[in-house]
Chain A
Amino acid sequence: MDFAGKFKVFWELFIERGGWERVLKVGLVNTLLIAVLGLLIGIVLGTLIAAVKVMPKYKLLPRILDKICTVYVGFFRGTPLVVQLLITYYVLWPLMGVTITSLNTSIIVFGLNSAAYVSEIMRGGLLSVDGGQMEAGRALGLSYGTTMLKIVIPQAIKNILPTLGNEFIALIKDTSVVSFIAAIDLTKTFTEIGNVRYEYFMPYLAMAVFYIILVFLISCGVKAMERSLRKSDRSH
Protein backbone atom coordinates (compact mmCIF):
# COMPACT_ATOMS: atom_id res chain seq x y z
CA MET A 1 0.00 0.00 0.00
CA ASP A 2 1.22 3.45 -0.92
CA PHE A 3 0.98 5.19 2.46
CA ALA A 4 3.04 8.17 1.37
CA GLY A 5 0.79 8.75 -1.63
CA LYS A 6 -2.40 8.45 0.42
CA PHE A 7 -1.02 10.83 2.99
CA LYS A 8 -0.01 13.33 0.31
CA VAL A 9 -3.50 13.35 -1.17
CA PHE A 10 -5.10 13.80 2.26
CA TRP A 11 -2.63 16.55 3.22
CA GLU A 12 -3.43 18.40 0.03
CA LEU A 13 -7.19 18.17 0.49
CA PHE A 14 -7.31 18.61 4.27
CA ILE A 15 -4.64 21.28 4.81
CA GLU A 16 -3.72 23.00 1.55
CA ARG A 17 -7.20 23.19 0.08
CA GLY A 18 -8.80 23.97 3.43
CA GLY A 19 -10.79 20.78 4.04
CA TRP A 20 -10.14 21.17 7.79
CA GLU A 21 -12.14 24.34 7.82
CA ARG A 22 -15.32 22.56 6.79
CA VAL A 23 -14.58 19.73 9.22
CA LEU A 24 -14.34 22.14 12.14
CA LYS A 25 -16.82 24.84 11.14
CA VAL A 26 -19.56 22.60 9.81
CA GLY A 27 -18.86 19.03 10.90
CA LEU A 28 -17.73 19.62 14.45
CA VAL A 29 -20.20 22.44 15.03
CA ASN A 30 -23.15 20.34 13.87
CA THR A 31 -22.00 17.31 15.85
CA LEU A 32 -21.77 19.41 19.01
CA LEU A 33 -25.03 21.19 18.21
CA ILE A 34 -26.92 17.91 17.88
CA ALA A 35 -25.35 16.45 21.01
CA VAL A 36 -25.68 19.55 23.20
CA LEU A 37 -29.21 20.57 22.16
CA GLY A 38 -30.23 16.90 22.09
CA LEU A 39 -29.02 16.48 25.66
CA LEU A 40 -30.78 19.67 26.78
CA ILE A 41 -34.08 18.51 25.30
CA GLY A 42 -33.36 15.10 26.81
CA ILE A 43 -32.83 16.58 30.27
CA VAL A 44 -36.00 18.66 30.22
CA LEU A 45 -38.21 15.88 28.80
CA GLY A 46 -36.41 13.16 30.75
CA THR A 47 -36.94 15.06 33.99
CA LEU A 48 -40.65 15.38 33.27
CA ILE A 49 -40.90 11.66 32.55
CA ALA A 50 -38.92 10.83 35.70
CA ALA A 51 -41.15 13.13 37.77
CA VAL A 52 -44.21 11.26 36.50
CA LYS A 53 -42.49 7.95 37.30
CA VAL A 54 -41.85 8.85 40.93
CA MET A 55 -45.23 10.56 41.50
CA PRO A 56 -47.54 8.92 44.03
CA LYS A 57 -50.02 6.85 42.02
CA TYR A 58 -53.27 7.08 43.99
CA LYS A 59 -55.09 9.11 41.37
CA LEU A 60 -56.04 8.16 37.83
CA LEU A 61 -54.15 10.92 36.01
CA PRO A 62 -50.66 9.97 37.28
CA ARG A 63 -51.42 6.36 36.39
CA ILE A 64 -52.36 7.28 32.82
CA LEU A 65 -49.31 9.55 32.44
CA ASP A 66 -47.17 6.74 33.81
CA LYS A 67 -48.44 4.34 31.12
CA ILE A 68 -47.75 6.91 28.39
CA CYS A 69 -44.23 7.42 29.67
CA THR A 70 -43.62 3.69 29.80
CA VAL A 71 -44.67 3.32 26.18
CA TYR A 72 -42.53 6.31 25.20
CA VAL A 73 -39.41 5.01 26.91
CA GLY A 74 -40.05 1.52 25.56
CA PHE A 75 -40.32 2.81 22.00
CA PHE A 76 -37.18 4.93 22.05
CA ARG A 77 -35.09 2.33 23.82
CA GLY A 78 -36.53 -0.52 21.80
CA THR A 79 -35.83 0.73 18.27
CA PRO A 80 -32.50 1.65 16.64
CA LEU A 81 -31.67 5.33 16.56
CA VAL A 82 -31.13 5.20 12.80
CA VAL A 83 -34.64 3.84 12.39
CA GLN A 84 -36.01 6.70 14.50
CA LEU A 85 -34.15 9.21 12.33
CA LEU A 86 -35.32 7.67 9.05
CA ILE A 87 -38.93 7.30 10.19
CA THR A 88 -39.10 10.85 11.44
CA TYR A 89 -37.46 12.43 8.42
CA TYR A 90 -38.93 10.34 5.61
CA VAL A 91 -42.27 9.21 7.08
CA LEU A 92 -43.43 11.40 9.94
CA TRP A 93 -42.66 14.83 8.48
CA PRO A 94 -44.24 14.08 5.06
CA LEU A 95 -47.31 12.64 6.83
CA MET A 96 -47.56 15.81 8.88
CA GLY A 97 -46.88 17.90 5.83
CA VAL A 98 -43.97 19.79 7.39
CA THR A 99 -40.48 20.48 6.10
CA ILE A 100 -37.80 20.43 8.74
CA THR A 101 -34.10 20.45 7.88
CA SER A 102 -32.13 17.29 8.45
CA LEU A 103 -30.03 19.09 11.09
CA ASN A 104 -33.10 20.18 13.07
CA THR A 105 -34.62 16.74 12.65
CA SER A 106 -31.45 15.24 14.08
CA ILE A 107 -31.59 17.57 17.07
CA ILE A 108 -35.24 16.70 17.73
CA VAL A 109 -34.77 12.95 17.35
CA PHE A 110 -31.63 12.94 19.50
CA GLY A 111 -33.52 14.96 22.11
CA LEU A 112 -36.50 12.59 22.13
CA ASN A 113 -34.20 9.59 22.16
CA SER A 114 -31.96 10.80 24.96
CA ALA A 115 -35.04 11.77 27.00
CA ALA A 116 -35.80 8.05 27.26
CA TYR A 117 -32.34 7.35 28.66
CA VAL A 118 -32.09 10.50 30.78
CA SER A 119 -35.47 9.71 32.36
CA GLU A 120 -34.04 6.49 33.78
CA ILE A 121 -30.92 8.27 35.01
CA MET A 122 -33.03 11.07 36.46
CA ARG A 123 -35.39 8.65 38.15
CA GLY A 124 -32.43 7.18 39.98
CA GLY A 125 -31.36 10.72 40.83
CA LEU A 126 -34.76 11.67 42.20
CA LEU A 127 -34.93 8.50 44.27
CA SER A 128 -31.46 9.24 45.65
CA VAL A 129 -32.76 12.46 47.23
CA ASP A 130 -33.85 11.86 50.81
CA GLY A 131 -37.63 11.71 51.19
CA GLY A 132 -37.39 14.17 54.08
CA GLN A 133 -36.69 16.96 51.58
CA MET A 134 -40.10 16.54 49.95
CA GLU A 135 -41.76 16.19 53.37
CA ALA A 136 -40.22 19.41 54.62
CA GLY A 137 -41.39 21.29 51.55
CA ARG A 138 -44.92 19.92 51.76
CA ALA A 139 -45.11 20.59 55.50
CA LEU A 140 -44.38 24.27 54.82
CA GLY A 141 -47.36 24.40 52.48
CA LEU A 142 -45.43 24.21 49.22
CA SER A 143 -47.07 22.13 46.49
CA TYR A 144 -45.65 18.85 45.21
CA GLY A 145 -44.60 20.56 41.97
CA THR A 146 -42.89 23.51 43.65
CA THR A 147 -40.99 21.29 46.06
CA MET A 148 -39.97 19.05 43.19
CA LEU A 149 -38.77 21.99 41.09
CA LYS A 150 -36.99 24.02 43.76
CA ILE A 151 -35.68 21.34 46.11
CA VAL A 152 -35.69 17.79 44.82
CA ILE A 153 -34.77 18.17 41.13
CA PRO A 154 -31.75 20.46 41.73
CA GLN A 155 -30.33 17.94 44.19
CA ALA A 156 -31.08 15.05 41.84
CA ILE A 157 -29.31 16.79 38.96
CA LYS A 158 -26.26 17.40 41.12
CA ASN A 159 -26.16 13.70 42.02
CA ILE A 160 -26.37 12.55 38.41
CA LEU A 161 -24.12 15.14 36.71
CA PRO A 162 -21.31 12.62 36.12
CA THR A 163 -23.76 10.15 34.58
CA LEU A 164 -25.19 12.91 32.40
CA GLY A 165 -21.62 13.62 31.26
CA ASN A 166 -21.37 10.03 30.10
CA GLU A 167 -24.72 10.34 28.33
CA PHE A 168 -23.30 13.38 26.52
CA ILE A 169 -20.29 11.36 25.35
CA ALA A 170 -22.63 8.60 24.14
CA LEU A 171 -24.63 11.21 22.22
CA ILE A 172 -21.49 12.64 20.59
CA LYS A 173 -20.59 9.18 19.33
CA ASP A 174 -24.13 8.43 18.19
CA THR A 175 -24.31 11.58 16.08
CA SER A 176 -22.16 9.82 13.48
CA VAL A 177 -25.33 8.24 12.05
CA VAL A 178 -27.12 11.46 11.08
CA SER A 179 -25.74 11.28 7.54
CA PHE A 180 -28.49 8.66 7.01
CA ILE A 181 -30.85 11.61 6.66
CA ALA A 182 -28.22 13.74 4.90
CA ALA A 183 -27.28 15.89 7.86
CA ILE A 184 -23.69 17.06 7.78
CA ASP A 185 -21.75 16.11 10.88
CA LEU A 186 -18.09 15.27 11.55
CA THR A 187 -18.35 11.86 9.92
CA LYS A 188 -19.97 13.28 6.83
CA THR A 189 -17.33 16.00 6.37
CA PHE A 190 -14.55 13.39 6.42
CA THR A 191 -16.51 11.24 3.95
CA GLU A 192 -16.75 14.28 1.69
CA ILE A 193 -12.96 14.63 1.72
CA GLY A 194 -12.73 10.97 0.74
CA ASN A 195 -15.29 11.42 -2.02
CA VAL A 196 -13.08 13.93 -3.87
CA ARG A 197 -10.58 11.27 -5.00
CA TYR A 198 -12.46 8.14 -3.93
CA GLU A 199 -9.66 7.71 -1.43
CA TYR A 200 -11.00 7.01 2.08
CA PHE A 201 -8.04 5.48 3.92
CA MET A 202 -6.56 8.62 5.41
CA PRO A 203 -9.78 10.60 5.92
CA TYR A 204 -11.37 7.82 7.98
CA LEU A 205 -8.19 7.22 9.95
CA ALA A 206 -8.02 10.94 10.73
CA MET A 207 -11.72 10.89 11.59
CA ALA A 208 -11.24 8.11 14.15
CA VAL A 209 -8.38 10.01 15.77
CA PHE A 210 -10.52 13.15 15.80
CA TYR A 211 -13.36 11.37 17.64
CA ILE A 212 -10.95 9.83 20.13
CA ILE A 213 -9.46 13.22 20.95
CA LEU A 214 -12.90 14.84 21.18
CA VAL A 215 -14.25 12.17 23.52
CA PHE A 216 -11.05 12.25 25.56
CA LEU A 217 -11.35 16.00 26.07
CA ILE A 218 -14.98 15.75 27.11
CA SER A 219 -14.22 12.90 29.53
CA CYS A 220 -11.53 15.08 31.11
CA GLY A 221 -14.15 17.80 31.54
CA VAL A 222 -16.60 15.34 33.11
CA LYS A 223 -13.92 14.02 35.49
CA ALA A 224 -12.94 17.55 36.53
CA MET A 225 -16.60 18.30 37.23
CA GLU A 226 -16.90 15.10 39.28
CA ARG A 227 -13.85 16.05 41.32
CA SER A 228 -15.12 19.55 42.05
CA LEU A 229 -18.52 18.15 43.05
CA ARG A 230 -16.87 15.73 45.44
CA LYS A 231 -14.85 18.56 46.89
CA SER A 232 -17.92 20.74 47.40
CA ASP A 233 -19.62 17.77 49.10
CA ARG A 234 -16.79 17.53 51.57
CA SER A 235 -16.68 21.25 52.26
CA HIS A 236 -20.34 21.33 53.17
Chain B
Amino acid sequence: MIEVIDLCKSFGNLQVLNNITETIHEGEKVVVIGPSGSGKSTFLRCLNCMEDPTSGSIIFEGEDLADMKVDINKHRQNIGMVFQQFNLFNNKTVLENITLAPVHLKKMTPEEAKEKGMELLRRVGLEDKADVYPSTLSGGQKQRAAIVRALAMNPKVILFDEPTSALDPEMVGEVLDVMKQLAAEGMTMVVVTHEMGFAREVADRILFMDGGQIAEQGTPEEVFGNPQHPRTKEFLSKVL
Protein backbone atom coordinates (compact mmCIF):
# COMPACT_ATOMS: atom_id res chain seq x y z
CA MET B 1 0.00 0.00 0.00
CA ILE B 2 2.79 2.40 0.96
CA GLU B 3 6.31 1.57 -0.07
CA VAL B 4 9.07 3.58 1.58
CA ILE B 5 12.42 3.38 -0.18
CA ASP B 6 15.69 4.80 1.16
CA LEU B 7 13.88 7.56 3.01
CA CYS B 8 16.14 10.23 4.51
CA LYS B 9 15.03 13.41 6.22
CA SER B 10 17.17 16.18 7.63
CA PHE B 11 16.25 19.43 9.31
CA GLY B 12 19.19 21.64 8.44
CA ASN B 13 22.24 19.70 9.61
CA LEU B 14 20.23 17.37 11.81
CA GLN B 15 19.60 14.05 10.12
CA VAL B 16 16.40 12.71 11.63
CA LEU B 17 15.61 9.78 9.33
CA ASN B 18 18.44 7.63 8.11
CA ASN B 19 17.77 5.54 5.04
CA ILE B 20 14.52 3.82 5.93
CA THR B 21 13.08 1.18 3.61
CA GLU B 22 9.77 -0.30 4.67
CA THR B 23 6.46 -1.44 3.21
CA ILE B 24 3.03 -0.97 4.73
CA HIS B 25 0.72 -3.64 3.33
CA GLU B 26 -2.97 -3.31 2.67
CA GLY B 27 -5.05 -4.04 5.76
CA GLU B 28 -1.99 -4.08 7.96
CA LYS B 29 -1.86 -2.43 11.39
CA VAL B 30 1.65 -1.15 11.98
CA VAL B 31 2.52 0.34 15.35
CA VAL B 32 5.64 2.49 15.61
CA ILE B 33 7.32 2.75 18.99
CA GLY B 34 10.61 4.18 20.17
CA PRO B 35 12.20 6.75 22.44
CA SER B 36 11.42 10.45 22.19
CA GLY B 37 13.27 12.13 19.35
CA SER B 38 13.93 8.89 17.51
CA GLY B 39 12.02 10.18 14.45
CA LYS B 40 8.65 8.43 14.79
CA SER B 41 6.58 11.51 14.03
CA THR B 42 8.87 12.57 11.24
CA PHE B 43 8.62 9.10 9.66
CA LEU B 44 4.84 9.18 9.87
CA ARG B 45 4.64 12.72 8.50
CA CYS B 46 6.85 11.79 5.56
CA LEU B 47 4.32 9.14 4.53
CA ASN B 48 1.86 11.84 3.40
CA CYS B 49 4.58 14.42 2.78
CA MET B 50 3.54 16.72 5.61
CA GLU B 51 7.32 16.73 5.85
CA ASP B 52 9.02 16.62 2.47
CA PRO B 53 11.58 13.80 2.38
CA THR B 54 15.13 15.01 1.85
CA SER B 55 15.75 11.98 -0.35
CA GLY B 56 14.16 8.63 -1.10
CA SER B 57 10.73 7.63 -2.34
CA ILE B 58 7.26 7.12 -0.93
CA ILE B 59 5.38 4.98 -3.42
CA PHE B 60 1.61 5.17 -3.03
CA GLU B 61 -0.81 3.97 -5.71
CA GLY B 62 2.01 3.76 -8.21
CA GLU B 63 3.27 7.29 -7.77
CA ASP B 64 6.23 8.68 -5.84
CA LEU B 65 4.84 11.18 -3.35
CA ALA B 66 8.33 12.54 -2.72
CA ASP B 67 8.36 13.77 -6.30
CA MET B 68 7.44 17.46 -6.15
CA LYS B 69 5.55 17.16 -9.44
CA VAL B 70 3.02 14.72 -8.01
CA ASP B 71 -0.38 16.18 -7.05
CA ILE B 72 0.06 15.60 -3.34
CA ASN B 73 -3.39 16.99 -2.47
CA LYS B 74 -5.01 14.25 -4.54
CA HIS B 75 -3.10 11.51 -2.70
CA ARG B 76 -3.67 13.02 0.72
CA GLN B 77 -7.39 12.54 0.16
CA ASN B 78 -6.69 8.81 0.43
CA ILE B 79 -4.32 9.03 3.41
CA GLY B 80 -6.10 10.08 6.60
CA MET B 81 -4.18 11.63 9.46
CA VAL B 82 -5.03 11.95 13.14
CA PHE B 83 -2.99 14.30 15.30
CA GLN B 84 -1.93 14.31 18.91
CA GLN B 85 -3.53 17.74 19.37
CA PHE B 86 -6.71 16.79 17.43
CA ASN B 87 -6.53 19.94 15.29
CA LEU B 88 -10.27 20.14 14.75
CA PHE B 89 -11.21 23.32 12.88
CA ASN B 90 -12.16 25.74 15.66
CA ASN B 91 -14.40 27.85 13.45
CA LYS B 92 -16.52 24.93 12.28
CA THR B 93 -19.04 22.74 14.07
CA VAL B 94 -18.25 19.07 14.52
CA LEU B 95 -20.34 18.09 11.51
CA GLU B 96 -18.87 20.89 9.38
CA ASN B 97 -15.41 19.66 10.35
CA ILE B 98 -16.35 16.30 8.91
CA THR B 99 -18.15 17.41 5.75
CA LEU B 100 -15.89 20.30 4.71
CA ALA B 101 -13.22 18.34 2.85
CA PRO B 102 -15.41 15.68 1.16
CA VAL B 103 -17.79 18.37 -0.11
CA HIS B 104 -15.15 20.88 -1.11
CA LEU B 105 -13.10 18.24 -2.90
CA LYS B 106 -16.23 17.01 -4.67
CA LYS B 107 -16.04 13.53 -3.22
CA MET B 108 -19.64 13.82 -2.04
CA THR B 109 -22.64 16.11 -2.31
CA PRO B 110 -23.42 18.09 0.85
CA GLU B 111 -26.34 15.76 1.59
CA GLU B 112 -24.25 12.61 1.17
CA ALA B 113 -21.48 14.04 3.32
CA LYS B 114 -23.93 15.00 6.06
CA GLU B 115 -25.52 11.59 6.04
CA LYS B 116 -22.19 9.85 6.10
CA GLY B 117 -20.91 12.22 8.80
CA MET B 118 -23.93 11.57 11.02
CA GLU B 119 -23.63 7.85 10.54
CA LEU B 120 -19.96 7.92 11.52
CA LEU B 121 -20.67 10.18 14.50
CA ARG B 122 -23.31 7.71 15.65
CA ARG B 123 -20.75 4.95 15.46
CA VAL B 124 -18.40 6.77 17.81
CA GLY B 125 -21.23 7.93 20.07
CA LEU B 126 -21.11 11.62 19.16
CA GLU B 127 -24.33 12.10 17.19
CA ASP B 128 -25.59 14.60 19.77
CA LYS B 129 -22.44 16.72 19.29
CA ALA B 130 -22.85 17.25 15.54
CA ASP B 131 -23.82 20.91 15.80
CA VAL B 132 -21.55 22.12 18.58
CA TYR B 133 -18.14 23.75 18.22
CA PRO B 134 -15.03 21.72 19.07
CA SER B 135 -14.11 23.90 22.05
CA THR B 136 -17.11 22.54 23.97
CA LEU B 137 -15.90 18.94 23.63
CA SER B 138 -13.71 16.96 26.00
CA GLY B 139 -10.35 15.75 24.72
CA GLY B 140 -11.62 12.25 24.09
CA GLN B 141 -14.63 13.56 22.19
CA LYS B 142 -12.40 15.83 20.12
CA GLN B 143 -10.17 12.95 19.13
CA ARG B 144 -13.13 10.73 18.22
CA ALA B 145 -14.50 13.56 16.09
CA ALA B 146 -11.09 13.99 14.47
CA ILE B 147 -11.01 10.29 13.62
CA VAL B 148 -14.45 10.61 12.07
CA ARG B 149 -13.23 13.59 10.05
CA ALA B 150 -10.43 11.44 8.64
CA LEU B 151 -12.79 8.51 8.00
CA ALA B 152 -15.32 10.64 6.14
CA MET B 153 -12.89 10.90 3.24
CA ASN B 154 -12.95 7.09 2.84
CA PRO B 155 -9.16 6.92 3.11
CA LYS B 156 -7.23 3.81 2.16
CA VAL B 157 -4.92 4.21 5.15
CA ILE B 158 -4.94 6.31 8.30
CA LEU B 159 -1.85 7.64 10.06
CA PHE B 160 -2.09 8.27 13.81
CA ASP B 161 0.54 10.33 15.63
CA GLU B 162 0.22 9.67 19.36
CA PRO B 163 -3.57 10.03 19.23
CA THR B 164 -3.99 9.53 22.99
CA SER B 165 -0.94 11.35 24.37
CA ALA B 166 -2.75 14.64 24.93
CA LEU B 167 -5.69 13.01 26.70
CA ASP B 168 -6.53 12.71 30.37
CA PRO B 169 -6.04 9.06 31.36
CA GLU B 170 -9.76 8.41 31.77
CA MET B 171 -10.36 9.35 28.13
CA VAL B 172 -7.67 7.21 26.54
CA GLY B 173 -9.89 4.13 26.50
CA GLU B 174 -12.74 5.64 24.51
CA VAL B 175 -10.35 6.69 21.73
CA LEU B 176 -8.47 3.38 21.68
CA ASP B 177 -11.84 1.58 21.45
CA VAL B 178 -12.68 3.50 18.29
CA MET B 179 -9.27 2.65 16.85
CA LYS B 180 -9.68 -1.03 17.72
CA GLN B 181 -13.06 -1.03 16.02
CA LEU B 182 -11.44 0.48 12.92
CA ALA B 183 -8.69 -2.13 13.02
CA ALA B 184 -11.27 -4.90 13.27
CA GLU B 185 -12.99 -3.54 10.17
CA GLY B 186 -9.77 -4.00 8.25
CA MET B 187 -8.56 -0.41 7.92
CA THR B 188 -4.87 -0.03 7.09
CA MET B 189 -3.35 1.85 9.99
CA VAL B 190 0.05 3.23 10.95
CA VAL B 191 0.04 4.25 14.60
CA VAL B 192 2.74 6.00 16.59
CA THR B 193 1.88 5.41 20.22
CA HIS B 194 3.16 4.83 23.72
CA GLU B 195 0.14 2.63 24.50
CA MET B 196 1.91 -0.73 24.63
CA GLY B 197 -1.29 -2.55 25.51
CA PHE B 198 -2.89 -1.30 22.32
CA ALA B 199 0.21 -2.21 20.33
CA ARG B 200 0.23 -5.74 21.70
CA GLU B 201 -3.48 -6.22 21.04
CA VAL B 202 -3.92 -4.61 17.65
CA ALA B 203 -0.60 -4.54 15.82
CA ASP B 204 0.26 -6.97 13.07
CA ARG B 205 3.75 -5.58 13.18
CA ILE B 206 5.73 -3.40 15.56
CA LEU B 207 8.45 -1.10 14.27
CA PHE B 208 10.92 -0.01 16.92
CA MET B 209 12.65 3.19 15.88
CA ASP B 210 15.89 4.47 17.28
CA GLY B 211 18.18 7.20 16.00
CA GLY B 212 16.25 7.71 12.77
CA GLN B 213 16.26 4.05 11.82
CA ILE B 214 14.01 1.07 12.29
CA ALA B 215 16.23 -0.77 14.72
CA GLU B 216 13.99 -3.78 15.08
CA GLN B 217 10.66 -5.04 13.89
CA GLY B 218 8.40 -8.03 14.20
CA THR B 219 5.09 -9.24 15.55
CA PRO B 220 4.12 -8.00 19.02
CA GLU B 221 5.06 -11.43 20.41
CA GLU B 222 8.53 -11.17 18.90
CA VAL B 223 9.26 -7.59 19.83
CA PHE B 224 7.71 -7.59 23.29
CA GLY B 225 8.41 -11.23 24.16
CA ASN B 226 11.89 -11.62 22.81
CA PRO B 227 13.49 -8.31 21.81
CA GLN B 228 16.80 -8.72 19.98
CA HIS B 229 18.30 -5.25 19.87
CA PRO B 230 19.81 -3.92 23.12
CA ARG B 231 18.11 -0.54 22.55
CA THR B 232 14.75 -2.29 22.22
CA LYS B 233 15.33 -4.15 25.47
CA GLU B 234 16.33 -0.92 27.19
CA PHE B 235 13.30 0.95 25.84
CA LEU B 236 10.84 -1.79 26.70
CA SER B 237 12.23 -2.18 30.22
CA LYS B 238 11.38 1.49 30.75
CA VAL B 239 7.87 1.52 29.31
CA LEU B 240 6.51 -1.89 30.28
Contact = CB atoms under 8 A, between A and B. Distances in A.
Contact of A236 (B77, B87, B132): B132
Contact of B83 (A135, A150, A151): A135
A139 B48 contact: yes
Interface residues of B, number: 32
Interface residues of A, number: 21
B237 interface: no
Interface in B60-95: 73-77, 79-81, 83, 85-92
A133 interface: yes
Interface string A127-140: 00010110111111
B104 A155 contact: no
Contacts of B104: 142, 146, 150
Nearest to A136: B87
A154 B89 CA distance: 11
Given A236-B132, A236-B133, A236-B135, A141 B105 contact: yes
B83 A158 contact: no
Contacts of A236: 132-136
Contacts of A154: 91
B91 A151 contact: yes
Interface of A: 130, 132-133, 135-143, 146, 150-151, 154-155, 158, 233, 235-236
15 contacts: A130-B85, A133-B89, A135-B50, A136-B83, A137-B101, A142-B73, A142-B100, A143-B73, A150-B100, A151-B92, A154-B91, A155-B90, A155-B91, A235-B136, A236-B133
List the 3 closest A-B pairs by CB distance, nearest first. A141-B77, A132-B87, A136-B87
